[in-house]
Amino acid sequence: MARAVVVAVGAAAFAACGTEPASPYAVQTYAFGPFMIAPAQEVSDQCVQITLNNDQPLYINQVELTTGPGFHHSNWFFVPAGDPKSGALPTYPGPDGTFTCADRAFDQATAALRGGVLFAQSTQSPHDVQSFPVGVALKIPAHSKLVAQIHLLNASESALTLHPTIALTPMREASVITTLAAMSFENHALGLPPQSQSAFVQDCDLAPEWTILQGQGQVTTATPNFSIYYALAHYHTMGTELTIEAVKPDGTATTVFSTTNHVGDALGSTIDPPFSMADGYTRLRYTCSYYNNTDAQVNWGIGNQEMCVFLAFSDSTFDWGGGEPTDSAPGSGQNVNGVMTFSHPCQVFASDATH
């Protein structure tokens, strides 16, 4: 069994425990924080940076985040750390540790483009594991660092002190069969009617973007041919379900992923076997369902508002993303078997995921 190496992330640097050199294939565990959260306090403007000091690419088969109550959510990315030998400049320059995101102009979409998506935490889950099958990994380029935007929310009546850790399980490059890329869609066009069950649907057509890539010679098949290995939902306390379906041009739909877990539970899982889009599927349709038991409409946002997001990983050579990124009105809904159902147009983007 690989020996775990614990690394503490401080304001200026980090130091490994022990004196023996760590195997590059041992589980690498990084401690960050601590975070003190007062009763009823919410913090959403903080980021964390962890420099990996990796002179060679890392192939990550598993990510494990341990936080504790009050750690509402966090999104983790890898970006260039800079390389003094080559003169390559870092992204979001500054020391390791916690910083105010705006001070370094941190933006999640930009981080994904400059590096890639590593991991997303299930809402309010104190312990999360993102695991891929044997031989499957995310590639983190040499000279990278992790940057995460964190969201803290203490719903209790007592102050909390958190000492979270994130652990990366690397594998040997020779053992890698498949490398993965991220897929992330979010629907900001929410308007949960009061005292009602509701569902918000986006049908995202990958075909137009795929046709452009085919015309550029970047893909060789007429329709998407990648497989999806992992998916995770993100919603808040009113969320009751998120479902992802693959859809063919004739309307045939097959469920790729679905969860009815509640906030605090794991909202992601490995898709076993991976779901292949190669059987003529050209669209991804995702639905977020809610029950709003208040007397007010609930929109997109933090606090007592809601979100509708899914993250997935596929073996595509492109990162896929989109949805509705602006806080828009959901439009007029239809009552479908007692559920107010809203549909909103979906934007689709693809970017090269090779590093």
Residues 159 and 213 placed together within one structural domain of the fold? no
Per-residue pLDDT tens for 51-76?
999 999 999 999 999 998 889 999 99
What is the pTM assigned to this prediction?
Answer: 0.90
Buried b (16+ CB within 10 A) or exposed e, 119-148: bbbbbbbbebbbebbeebbbbbbebbbbbb
Domain boundary among 161, 178, 195: 178
In total, how many domains does the chain have?
2
Sign (positive/negative) of CA torsion 203, 207, 210, 212?
negative
Residue 173: CB atoms within 10 A of its CB come to 13
Residues 232 and 197 placed together within one structural domain of the fold? yes
Asked if omega into 273 is within 30° of 0 (cis), the reply is yes
According to the model, what pLDDT value does residue 37 have? 94
Residues 96 and 186 placed together within one structural domain of the fold? no
Per-residue pLDDT tens for 254-280?
999 999 999 989 999 999 999 999 999
Residues 24 and 153 placed together within one structural domain of the fold? yes
Residues 152 and 251 placed together within one structural domain of the fold? no
Q: Does residue 15 carry a pLDDT above 60? A: no
When mean pLDDT is compared across 79-88, 244-253, 333-342, the lowest value belongs to 79-88
User: Please, is 91 exposed, middle or buried when counting C-beta atoms within 10 Å of its C-beta (0-12, 13-18, 19+)?
Assistant: buried
d(CA 7, CA 167): 10
Which of 262, 256, 221 shows the shortest CA–CA distance to 239? Answer: 262
Q: Which two tokens stand for residue 18?
A: 């022990």
Residues 15 and 131 placed together within one structural domain of the fold? yes
Per-residue pLDDT tens for 143-162?
999 999 999 999 889 999 99
Q: Which two tokens stand for residue 333?
A: 């809904």
Domain boundary among 178, 199, 227: 178
Domain that holds residue 225: 180-352
Q: Which two tokens stand for residue 301?
A: 């946002």
Asked if omega into 95 is within 30° of 0 (cis), the reply is no
d(CA 262, CA 240): 7
Which of 63, 67, 42 shows the shortest CA–CA distance to 126? Answer: 67
Instruction: Look at residue 108 and give its three-state secondary structure.
Output: helix
Residues 150 and 256 placed together within one structural domain of the fold? no
Q: How confident is the model at residue 20 (pLDDT cuts 50, 70, 90)?
A: very low
Mean pLDDT of the chain: 92
Q: Find the mean pLDDT for residues 230-257.
A: 97
Q: Which two tokens stand for residue 127?
A: 């312990």
Residues 101 and 61 placed together within one structural domain of the fold? yes
Residues 127 and 34 placed together within one structural domain of the fold? yes
Q: Which two tokens stand for residue 126?
A: 């104190």
Residues 268 and 158 placed together within one structural domain of the fold? no
Q: Find the mean pLDDT for residues 82-89.
A: 86
Residues 77 and 159 placed together within one structural domain of the fold? yes
Domain boundary among 128, 152, 178: 178
Residues 207 and 346 placed together within one structural domain of the fold? yes
